[in-house]
Structure 1
Amino acid sequence: MKVFAIGVLPQPLTDAQRAEIMPQEVPHTLKLYLDAKIEQFWFRQDQPGPIFLMDVESIDQAKATVGQMPIVAAGLATYTFIPVGPLAPLGMLIAGK
């Protein structure tokens, strides 16, 4: 199943927090990408935080996976999870359907 995990950093990271958490967070995120748990990722333009397109078995798995990220475990970020799928109404445009 595909899930968007939308991150929010309620407070901008201080320089000290960034220096402490990012050396752990970046390799952790890269491993999730290489393990195909995160298919794509973006950085939000409206506020600090990433958006991940995840390939997981369930919302619970997405929550557990993101919950292990260092920035989340430290209480510096929270996520909203949205399951997504194909745009099924497009099928009505196919003749004979």
Structure 2
Amino acid sequence: MNTEPPSLEAMKALSRVPVTRILALGRWTEKATPAARTPVMPFEARETMALQLAGKIDQWFARSDGEGAVFLMNLTDPAEAHALLEALPLGQAGMMVFELIPIGPLWPLGLLLRD
């Protein structure tokens, strides 16, 4: 087992994480009053489920602060994720916006695989 600390070059190489998923953090906009979003939600739920069945969304969650939704998406391109989320009913109505975070494997684990 190699007990030497990794070189700076090795650390830089390992830190280049391949994007394997997109974490989408949604939040309500000012337009998304309870009265405005209630009639849209059945359509939103159906279209979100269609994205899950198509393999685009792996998991979906409600934010515990009540401020929106969180999706773990099986995508690598933030532009594709943005287009899909904007096409959902809440996106079309301007009631939800998303912060998109490309994510991948935890690179420091690669340090354990060094010879």
- Give me the TM-score of the superposition, normalised by structure 1: 0.88
Shift of 1:10: 2.9
Q: What is the 5 A alignment of 1:34-49?
A: 34-49=53-68
Structure 1 counterpart of 2:52 = 33
Larger radius of gyration: 2
Aligned to 2:105: 86
Identity of aligned residues (%): 35
Mapped partners of 2:52, 2:99: distance in 1: 19
TM-score (ref. length: structure 2):
0.75
Q: Which moved more, 1:33-42 or 1:49-58?
A: 49-58
Given that 2:76 and 2:102 are in contact with CA atoms closer than 8 Å, whether structure 1 keeps it comes out as no
CA RMSD, Structure 1 to Structure 2 (Å): 1.5
The answer to whether 1:13 aligns with 2:33 is yes
| Separation (CA, whole Å) in 1 of partners of 2:112 and 2:91 | 42
Instruction: Return 5+ residue gaps in structure 1 as ranges.
Output: none
**Other structure's SS at 1:20 match:** coil
Structure 2 segments unaligned to the other structure (5+ residues) = 1-19
